[in-house]
Amino acid sequence: MIMILAFTALMGQQPAEATVELDFEFFRSQVQPIFLERKSGFTRCVVCHAEGGRVGFLEEMERGATEWDEEQSRANFEAVSRLVVPGDPLASRLLMHPLEPDAGGDEFHNGGRQFSSQEDPWFQTLAAWVNGETAGQ
């Protein structure tokens, strides 16, 4: 725990964060699908992180639905935004928690180390979003 705090404090000193704005369209089109996608050997993020769960930062989907509607996407955007530091992926819990400790991840994630390295495509997409990439790019 102390290690996480020290790490966050260190990363928080980077000046970039104030200027970056998180883009909703990029979130909806690029980030949300990650929470729904299957990766071999792992459970999908949405299975453990939909509302009602202990760490439910995602909306519960309608029965039979394969994606979130507009309102749910907005709610997801709000909740997931609270797990990142805009402009600073390496200080963002959303990225560091599922990351392999050998690759810089923090200590423990009940859902497994879904990002094997910082080159992982999911990690890269989340980092782009945190860095303010917009859907138009």
Own/partner pairs for 89-93, CB < 8 Å, 24+ apart?
Answer: 89/126, 89/127, 89/130, 89/131, 90/11, 91/7, 91/8, 91/11, 91/12, 91/14, 92/126, 92/130
> Which CB sits closer to ligand HEC, 87 or 126?
126
Shortest Cβ contact with ligand HEC: which residue?
Answer: 111
Task: Using CB under 6 A, pick the residue from 48, 75, 90, 128 that binds ligand HEC.
Answer: 48
Q: Which range of residues in 16-24, 41-49, 59-67, 129-137 is near ligand HEC by CB under 6 A?
A: 41-49
* Residues of this chain that bind ligand HEC (CB under 6 A): 43, 45, 47-49, 54-55, 83, 93-94, 97-98, 108-111, 114
